[in-house]
Amino acid sequence: MRRRPVVLGIESSCDETCAAVAAGPQEIKAHVVASSLTQHAAFGGIIPEIASRAHLESIVPVVDEALCRARTAARRLDAVAVTQNPGLIGSLLVGTSFARALSAAWELPLFVVDHIQAHLYAAFIETPLRYPFVGLVVSGGHTALYKVSALGRQAVLGATRDDAAGEAFDKVAKMLGLGYPGGPPIERLAEHGRPHAYSFRCTCDGSDFSFSGIKTAVLYKVRELEKRYGKLDHAVVCDLCASFQEAVVNDLVAKAVRAACRHKIKDLAVGGGVAFNGYLRRRLREAAAAAGLVLTIAPRPYCLDNAAMVASLGCRLAHEKNS
Ligand code: KG4
Ligand code: ZN
């Protein structure tokens, strides 16, 4: 195998069918995403059966498109990498079966990649990787803090006890009639609201996370306001979004920075769909600078589910196996 392996990455854990080609962990040649999101819109969340069927329809064209955009023929690939877990079982099955078939047909090694690890290492697609680092993953299904000392060597410092951060954004958005996914509309409306209009707080101490209490607090506040004033007007919805976002961001930033300081680790990496949030990114930057930490946040195109992070981590795994 060449020193910098060329890897085809496939990701199908939720509603996005994704393929990417990487020629090394920091060289993404192409990445393609086909989302079935609009097919789920009427249901207010992802319907697993619809997602699996959409993956079946999209997987061949998406992989073809990634290879075509990367100008890479199958014979120039060194390995295939695929997300195996966690995710929707039917969706994962489409990606893993297809990747296994390609690996067998093209006689290429197959690397199975953990979705959460891929989110974590996405922070280092454009920035050189240095160990050790403290990693924060904030996605729709997971909120977790890790101490990472080498590839595959990490300790969980904290994890969510109930709803993940993204899940809380999605549930609060649903309460406010803002649609799915909830992160983008909440972030947009929060820009016009007052972050201290309502006092919401994440109550979980230590390094674990809990966002279910804050979600319920928003629900009670919405009910109280509706009872008093009827349908909520735009300014009130903006205030609710800003106050909710403030509480979640305060908690994420404080716990990530505290973990790095407590473990005397200078590098802090952040990835996952919620890391797309501009307010979180700004607050992380400010807090890291104040604490003297080196912060790396996944570049925005690699925050939400994508196969570039899978191909990139696949390159790291392939390199390690061959060194
Ligand atoms: O990582 P991801 O694409 O999928 C999972 O692995 O879960 O994350 C999706 C989550 C959703 O809950 C979505 O609401 C949230 O990321 N999200 C955001 C933003 N964009 C997406 N949360 C806050 N602000 C955003 N701008
Ligand atoms: Zn994800």
pLDDT tens for each residue of 180-198: 999 999 999 999 999 999 9
One DSSP character per residue, 31-85 reads: EEEEE-HHHHGGGTS--HHHHHHHHHHHHHHHHHHHHHHTT--GGG--EEEEEEE
- pLDDT value for 323: 81
Q: How far is the CA of 3 from the centre of ligand 1 (A)?
A: 35
Nearest CA to ligand 1 atom 2: 273
Nearest CA to ligand 1 atom 16: 273
Q: What is the model's pTM? A: 0.96
Mean pLDDT of 148-160: 96
Q: How far is the CA of 125 from the centre of ligand 1 (A)?
A: 19
Confidence label for 42 from pLDDT (cuts 50, 70 and 90) = confident
CA end-to-end span of the chain:
10
Closest CA to 144 of 175, 116, 115, 182: 116
Q: How far is the CA of 16 from the centre of ligand 2 (A)?
A: 10
Residue to mutate, 35, 169, 280, 302, ligand 1, most ligand atoms under 8 Å from C-beta: 169
**Residue 52: is its pLDDT beyond 80?**
yes
Q: What is the pLDDT of residues 56-95, one digit of tens each?
A: 999 999 999 999 999 999 999 999 999 999 999 999 999 9
Nearest CA to ligand 1 atom 20: 183
